[in-house]
Amino acid sequence: MNDMSTRAKMPSTEEITLIKKFLDDTTLFLGPDPEIMQNHDLMPRTDIEDAAITTVSDAHTVAKIRDRIQAGCDEGFEMVEQMGAAPGAKWGDVITGVYSASGDLAIASAGGVLIFSALVHHPIKFIIKNWMNDPTVGVKEGDGFIHNDSRYGNVHNTDQSMILPIFHKGKLVCWVASTVHEGENGAIEPGGMPSMAESPSDEGLKMSPFKVVENYQIKRDILTFLQNSVREPKLQYEDMKVKLFACLRIKQRIEETLNTDGPEALVATLRLTMENVRAEVKRRISEWPDMTVRTYIIQDSTLRENCVVKINCKLTKIGDRLIFDFRGSSPEFTNRATNTIVAGLKGMLAQVFLCYVWPDLPRGQAAFAPIEVITDPHSIVNCSYDAPNSQSLMSIFTGFTAGQHAVAKFLYSCPEKFTKVHAPTFNMINTFIWGGVSQHGETLGNLCADLNGMGAGATVNRDGEHALAPVFATMADIGEQELNEEEVPFLQLVSKKMTRDAIAPGKYRGGQGYTMMVATKDSEQWGFMTTAQGAKIPPLQGLFGGYACGTYPLCKVKDVDVYDVLMNEPERFRHSIEDLMNEQPFDEASYSTHHMGMGFEISKRGELFMISQGAGAGYGDLLERDPGDVIKDIEEGLISPGVAARLYKVVFDAKTLAIDFDATEAARAEERQARIARSTPYAEFIKGWNKPKPPAHLQYFGCWGDDTGTLYMGSPEITRRGDQPRPNYMTHPKDVRIAELEARLIAAGAMGDEKK
Amino acid sequence: MKVPMTEYLRIDLDTEKWECRVCDHVIAPAEGNYKEGLLVHNRNPRDIHPPIIDPEKYRFTFSPDPDWVRILEFCCPSCGTQVETEYAIPGHPPLWDMQVDVAALKAQWAARGPSAVPDAGPVVMPDRGHGH
């Protein structure tokens, strides 16, 4: 036997230097940088910032300059919202901001999508790290960079940023950027958020940060390439210009400040704003009780098939530390699009605080900077580079809800609150994504902004508001459908009508959502898709005895032209999903229901696609609900009289709705006794209820019970360790269906002599 | 001093117990899981979120699938107030949702004093008593 040692020889210092130089000189691909992508805290204070703060730290001066910059950001936001071509721009799916020279988002526009506040600093840091000193790229005055690939820092690839460095007398003082949900990006389905994506290669444009503007002019050759890569080339051009000019307006406001107060004042203001917000967040956290809160939210599909996907959340507060622990959440799906990069999850958690807990804080990266987040690698909330994430919304929204649900339990006892204790708001984008060729011959791909009408959760002292705002942008709008219909070949035949009995009961009920019925009219090349979960399991939890929402399916009526019906037999039409589906008023039509992950489907003229927005969660014991409010809900068409009487135990006259208060109180007292009678002591209950593994009849993904280190992968018998990634492939739903049907054929002896 | 922790639960810092804010029932030790002192009912979600469209005709009805999810309803054994709900996968152990560091809570409130206790809470029902 040869005496060969397997131990490697340790390289000398000189050799290590040489190896490092070799690797630096021969990097084959500058992919997403984990050092950048895993860090959401502020960059260290630089010597320049330190010197600036030594020169200027007067609170009044800082406040004055911050307000000027804030106004500039809001001005840029308005420009994008007013001039942007994308539906997302028109309805507020936008952020503009000023970033420090190191790339931290110091001040963001007050409106729009604040999730970006914890995300779009990553590509700027990539530019600083890789392009600033690269002789083939460089960062000069007049340059502009574009970016959309979520793996370099973004929610999903529909969002595009324009990033400009700002110089003063030849020195970089800060950055400005504008980010918009553009929609179309050339993916395998129109609209930019393909649920059919099985790998990143199906997700359309993947722009790592690169230079697209020189001397403040968009480079036409690169622009043409981008236009050639998407379905809406005119939109691509228009919105790049809009974002560029919004950035230039913010630049103008910054230069006015530089001229009046000097660069030190600007640099000090940006830095102190972030440091002060960060310190204030730590102080506010320290006022919460030291506690661990556990919750989980269930996704009931991958948008391709129904299954059970757990988002597991343990939130711990110790002193001035707040730690989100999402370990135990589902493994990533190797060939499904519902994964998110961890920065996306952090962005939505930042949204919990900026919009629902501390809305008084200046908008920026600092509000979430000191909060810690732990995840399993290659999990659905921290996916790998190779996993598709175009439907990351599914995981960041359910992650958001887990955070919102947990935070409420900390806030209740706090003497100092900045908002009311709040049950979870509805979290799914129940809307239609559309695409095809319009009545004007334009190729289009985008969505109905009705997704912005999520029902709000109830609060400690009032009902949730209906169809209020999306969880990712509390200042967004649902748009004007009539204006939209001038550009797209379909009508919303029923819209803005609340879906009766789609409720979230409680002492204070959740705000409800409205019904949307759409039908294509003037195009033979037009279709829809829907991308939401929650048709089998609600995607929320209730709060303090309140209930979550129900579930929301997609309903279709095919083999009918409702426009002919409306023209010739209008009395046959019904204005609710309930009546249309139960009464089936159109002869020869086919009626069906589906989960909310409909892949892009061409629709024929007059076929109905019908969905409902969802309700926010309820708060408190429903037997404490004011009987008068229950009757008001009946009068407003939110709940049917039978359901109201049965659930809320309110006794009223069926014709006049007059309340019998004594009988109501008696019925409620009786129900409390009935609860006690039908319930079981906890220790006894869990003996029959608790099971050691997930049920075999469900495809279950994630941890089970207290063992957060073992992740189930679709079967009680298949697992991985949380910290040890494994591929997690799903079978094509059509193959699953074919196998089911073949099994039935074999069982019936009807397969014949088909060769294998 | 008694600190309200949820709409229906408080912690008595002196006795270190979870209590019902509606009827003053002593539920469980404060350092433990309050659910252990409550009653539980395994509720069919269709009772609360009834089908809007006919379940005889359709697979998806606006009503949660009872084979996929259940609602665990936790109520006070004394007054029947519904303290918490938990939408649970069948067989999934109920969560210990609020694990309190009681010593830290006592120190925090010793510094604040009783005047800082928030006054929001359940509806006052004369025949059911209230404890806040």
**pLDDT tens digits for range A174-210:** 999 999 999 889 999 888 889 999 999 999 999 999 9
Determine whether the interchain pair B57/A620 forms a contact, defined as Cβ–Cβ distance below 8 Å: no
Q: Answer whether residue A254 shows pLDDT above 80.
A: yes
Q: Write out residues 418-477 of A within 8 Å (CB-CB) of B.
A: 421, 460-461
Give the distance from CA B87 to its chain's centroid: 13
Give just the sign of the alpha carbon dihedral A67, A69, A73, A74. positive
Find the residue in B nearest to A300 (Cα).
Answer: B68
- A424 CB burial (10 A radius; 0-12, 13-18, 19+): buried
**Mean pLDDT of all residues belonging to chain A:** 94
Determine whether the interchain pair B82/A622 forms a contact, defined as Cβ–Cβ distance below 8 Å: yes
Determine whether the interchain pair A547/B71 forms a contact, defined as Cβ–Cβ distance below 8 Å: yes
β-bridge pairing A144-147 and A159-168? antiparallel
Residue entry with tokens 């609710």: A576
Give pTM, 2 decimals: 0.94
Tokens describing residue A211 = 């230079």
How confident is the model over A64-94, as pLDDT tens digits? 999 999 999 999 999 999 999 887 787 788 8
Determine whether the interchain pair B6/A412 forms a contact, defined as Cβ–Cβ distance below 8 Å: yes
Residues in chain B predicted with pLDDT less than 70, given as ranges, are: 120-132
Q: Answer whether residue A738 shows pLDDT above 90.
A: yes
How confident is the model over A270-316, as pLDDT tens digits? 999 999 999 999 999 999 999 999 999 999 999 999 999 999 999 99
Alpha helices in A516-576 (DSSP H): 562-568
Angle at B40 between CA B35 and CA B45, to 5 degrees: 120
pLDDT of residue A753: 76
Q: Return the bridge partners of A713, or none.
A: A701
Instruction: Give the Cα separation of A506 and A463 in Å (integer).
Output: 9
Phi, psi values for residue A497, rounded to 5° = -105, 120
Tokens describing residue A735 = 């193959």
pLDDT of residue B125: 54
Phi, psi values for residue A379, rounded to 5° = -110, 175
pLDDT of residue A7: 65
pLDDT of residue A190: 85
Instruction: Give the Cα separation of A170 and A534 in Å (integer).
Output: 54
Cβ pair A395, A518 in contact under 8 A? no
A19-28, A110-119, A360-369, B110-119: least confidently modelled range:
A110-119
pLDDT of residue A446: 81
SS (HEC) of A223-265: HHHHHCCCCCHHHHHHHHHHHHHHHHHHHHHHHHHHHHHCHHH
Cβ of residue A94 closer than 8 Å to a chain B Cβ: no
Torsion of CA A501, A503, A508, A513, to 10 degrees: -100
How confident is the model over A708-732, as pLDDT tens digits? 999 999 999 999 999 999 999 999 9
Tokens describing residue B47 = 């009772």
pLDDT of residue A6: 56
- Of A627, A613, A608, A509, the C-alpha closest to A566 is A608
ipTM of the complex: 0.94
Average the pLDDT over A431-456 and give the result: 90
What is the least distance, in Å, from the CA of B66 to any CA of chain A?
A: 9
Instruction: Give the Cα separation of A528 and A516 in Å (integer).
Output: 13
Give just the sign of the alpha carbon dihedral A83, A435, A536, A708. negative
List of chain A residues whose C-beta atoms are within 8 Å of the C-beta of residue B7: 412, 460, 507, 544-545, 619-621
How confident is the model over A581-632, as pLDDT tens digits? 999 999 999 999 999 999 899 999 999 999 999 999 999 999 999 999 999 9
What is the least distance, in Å, from the CA of B14 to any CA of chain A?
A: 17
Query: Rounded to whole angstroms, what are the CA distances from B116 to A287, A544, A743, B95, B103?
Result: 12, 22, 67, 30, 18
Tokens describing residue A238 = 């228009």
How confident is the model over A447-505, as pLDDT tens digits? 888 888 999 999 999 999 998 888 988 777 777 778 888 999 999 999 999 999 999 99
Instruction: Give the Cα separation of A511 and A548 in Å (integer).
Output: 11
Q: Taking every pair of C-alpha atoms in chain B, what is the biggest distance, in angstroms?
A: 62
Give one word for A631, left, alpha or beta, with left for phi > 0 and alpha for psi -120 to 50: alpha
